[in-house]
Amino acid sequence: MNVWKEGKIGSLQIGNRFVHTATGEGLCTEKGEATPRLLERYRSLGRLGAIGLIITGHMYVEKSGRMRPGQTGIDDDALVRGLAQVVQAAKQDGSRIFAQLAHGGIMTMRTVTGKEALGPSKMTINGSDDNRALSLPEIHALIQSFADAARRAREAGFDGVQLHAAHGYGLSQFLSPYFNRREDEYGGPVENRTRIVTQILHKIKSEAGCDFPVTIKINSTDALAGGIRLEDALQSARLMEEAGAAGIEVSGGCALTQAESGPMRPVNPKTLKGACYFRDEARFFQKHMRIPVTLVGGVRTLEQAEDIISSGDAAFVGICRPLIREPDLLIRWRQRIASQTTCISCNRCLALSRTGTGVFCPHKL
């Protein structure tokens, strides 16, 4: 199977097997509106349609779930016009684009939202307990907010949405027994912990249409004692598949885990030690599921991507940090001008995306 050959998510045709995975940009106004710098970023990613599917950075579906300064908003109809320009820029040469929908849960901060954080359960996190559990009516309102956001995404021209249920943020907290200590229908066994996601899937189908693809980024493990384990994550993913998910992206870890077991791990740029660090997990999910799996995490060469696709370990290959440094990387890979990235996986881009300066690679090309 060739990486440059078309793939499918739901009934949506994707030009090749490469996915630009969600990358929080921190490039919007304080109201979450798109800026010229954001448009420029998507214009460069969309060039020549070299990236089959571009997934945006996490967009907040409710102000209570805003995580970072400069984060993109999708919580208001007034934002649709600006988002439509982002879509146009990304799709200029035939790439597809999905909006990533998110809520920070108890990882949000008062400095950003002006309020206490809301999540599945109250708990002390990084020494702070400035949070509380969502009430049942608030959970129902949050489900509606995700569906409203998906409807806005469709109006703006996005080809689908991805729910951010990974990395220890809001939906991921519901899935994880480490964060979710609820005793009602949203806590306890896997079915209950997955309920918020399956209900969002159903609601999106009724608000944005059954033909609008929804994928989900999940944690294969939280890498936390008492957190989600691989078998539970697979059970959750199968419930999502039954509820109509069109694909999953397999990641792992969260802000509380060590860098070596988190979502953005080091990869040695010379020896490539540490590359493709979720390959076993992606293979496990793809083996047990019919919907396409995207493998993300440390893919650094064209040969690695080709091997992943030809082995059938995943249907799509996700790349993030290298495309921050080299948005035209896949043009050069496709033309065989290069087959590797010059990204050193140092995570300076991550720190920058969170400070208000916006995401970029600080190292000279």
Ligand X SMILES: Cc1cc2nc3c(=O)[nH]c(=O)nc-3n(C[C@H](O)[C@H](O)[C@H](O)COP(=O)(O)O)c2cc1C
Active-site positions read 169
Pick 192 or 342: Cβ nearer ligand X:
342
3-state helix, strand, coil in the chain (%, to 5): 40, 15, 45
Residue 197 interacts with ligand X (CB under 6 A)?
A: no
Backbone torsions φ then ψ of 18, nearest 5 degrees: -95, 135
Whose Cβ is closer to ligand X: residue 23's or residue 131's?
A: 23
Pairing outcome for strands 160-165 and 96-102 = parallel
* Euclidean distance between CA atoms 90 and 65, whole angstroms: 26
Q: Write down the least CB distance from residue 299 to ligand X, Å.
A: 6
- CA–CA distance, 29 with 103 (Å, rounded to integer): 18
Q: According to the binding rule CB under 6 A, does residue 143 interact with ligand X?
A: no
Among candidate residues 264, 304, 263, 334, the one with its CA nearest the CA of residue 95: 334
Token readout for 239 is: 């419930």
Query: In the complex, what is the shortest distance from the CB of residue 252 to ligand X, in angstroms, rounded to a whole number?
Result: 9
Residues numbered 151-180 forming contacts with ligand X, rule: CB under 6 A: 164, 166
Eight-state DSSP code of residue 347: -
CA pair distance 79, 84, nearest whole angstrom = 9
Candidate list 171, 320, 330, 344; residue touching ligand X; CB under 6 A: 320
Shorter beta-carbon distance to ligand X: residue 172 or 182? 172
In the complex, minimum distance from the CB of residue 318 to ligand X, in angstroms, rounded to a whole number: 6
Instruction: Please give the structure tokens belonging to residue 202.
Output: 């159903």
123 binds ligand X (CB under 6 A): no
Q: Does 329 bind ligand X (CB under 6 A)?
A: no
Say whether residue 147 binds ligand X (CB under 6 A). no
Judged by CB under 6 A, the stretch of 143-151, 237-245, 283-291, 296-304 that binds ligand X is 296-304
Q: Does residue 253 touch ligand X according to CB under 6 A?
A: no
The Cα 340–Cα 306 span in angstroms is 12
Residues 6+ apart with CB under 8 A from 3: 16, 17, 18, 302, 305, 306, 309, 317
Among 3, 9, 19, 21, indicate the residue that binds ligand X (CB under 6 A): 21
Determine the size of the site formed for ligand X (CB under 6 A). 24
Q: How far is the CB of 350 from ligand X (least distance, A)?
A: 4
Nearer to ligand X, 134 or 163 (CB): 163
263 binds ligand X (CB under 6 A): yes
57 binds ligand X (CB under 6 A): yes
Which one, 49 or 297, has the nearer CB to ligand X?
Answer: 297
d(CA 66, CA 157): 23
Q: What is the DSSP string of 175-222?
A: H-TTT----STTSSSHHHHHHHHHHHHHHHHHHH-TTS-EEEEEES--
Position 283 contacts ligand X (CB under 6 A): no
Please tell me whether residue 23 binds ligand X under the rule CB under 6 A: yes
Chain residues binding ligand X by CB under 6 A are 21-24, 57-58, 100, 164, 166, 217, 251, 263-264, 296-299, 319-321, 349-350, 353, 359
